[in-house]
């Protein structure tokens, strides 16, 4: 079997726990060849974003065009796109591909870091909604991002279910709402697609940093789609993978105190 190729279009996280670095680890874990398109260089650590420097649009376009023309890409995962211009650029390149040759497109609408720091310019949200979401094979917002998309607070599981239906009816593409931010005894994620609403649940681990969980989650789904799994099965496999990565996470003592990170290659 030929090794499938996937592309991550995202920001660079110097801490190695999120962004491009997390995606590389995740693709490699699933034995998918990883390409990268760097959109931003981000100085961050778990719990803190210090600075963001966007990469020039021409360089982003060149990275993406070369990735798509020199490799048989079967899946694309987008992470931190940061600006309206970069959202439009990615959409433009993707829309130019023949429809029957377009890779799977998994959109992680990265807007807010786990620390609460903004990771997108305000005007980019409208371009996600009007242009990128309709192109996607899956959109994977966490609760804060889903709330920003809908303009309403999501703080209970019943409200999550209503929101999933609302998003599907609005955009007519599958959505995966990640419920870890509820911080209840169970981490419940909801997938809605043409077959209805599907629930994925694992015990929630309190007191563990989840920096990079969203990036890793969406990258793992993209990898499993690249491997040929149907969407529901890809999400199920990913849910178990991310739970192991959290449960077996790294922990260190550092100058700033306790530091932790997901273990992408868990034991």
Residues taking part in catalysis:
178, 210, 212-215
In 108-184, DSSP assigns E strands to: 138-139, 175-178
Query: 18-23: long-range contacts (C-beta < 8 A, 24 or more apart)?
Result: 18/44, 18/211, 18/212, 18/214, 18/215, 18/216, 19/79, 19/80, 19/212, 19/215, 20/79, 22/212, 22/215, 22/216, 22/219, 22/262, 22/264, 23/77, 23/79, 23/215, 23/216, 23/219
Residue 123 has, within 13 A of its CA and on its CB side, a CA count of 5
């Amino acid at each position: 079997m030929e090794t499938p190729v996937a592309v991550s279009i995202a920001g660079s996280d110097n801490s190695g726990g999120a962004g491009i670095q997390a995606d590389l680890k995740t693709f490699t874990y699933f034995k998918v060849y990883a390409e990268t398109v760097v959109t931003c260089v981000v100085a961050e650590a778990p719990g803190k974003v210090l600075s963001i420097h966007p990469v020039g649009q021409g360089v982003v376009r060149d990275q993406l065009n070369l990735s798509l023309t020199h490799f048989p890409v079967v899946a694309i995962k987008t992470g931190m796109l940061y600006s309206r211009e970069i959202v439009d650029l990615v959409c433009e390149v993707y829309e130019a591909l023949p429809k029957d040759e377009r890779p799977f497109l998994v959109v992680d609408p990265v807007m807010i870091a786990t620390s609460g720091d903004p990771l997108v310019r305000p005007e980019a949200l409208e371009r996600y909604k009007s242009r990128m979401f309709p192109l996607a094979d899956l959109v994977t917002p966490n609760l804060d991002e889903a709330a920003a998309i809908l303009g309403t607070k999501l703080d209970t599981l019943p409200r999550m279910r209503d929101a999933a239906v609302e998003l599907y009816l609005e955009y007519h593409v599958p959505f995966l709402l990640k419920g870890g931010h509820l911080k209840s005894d169970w981490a419940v994620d909801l997938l809605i697609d043409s077959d209805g609403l599907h629930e994925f649940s694992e015990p929630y681990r309190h007191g563990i940093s989840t920096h990079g969980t969203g990036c890793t989650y969406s990258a793992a789904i993209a990898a499993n789609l690249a491997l040929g799994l149907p969407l529901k099965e890809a999400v199920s496999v990913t849910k178990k993978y991310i739970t192991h990565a959290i449960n077996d996470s790294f922990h260190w003592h550092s100058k700033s105190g306790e530091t932790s990170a997901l273990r992408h290659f868990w034991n």
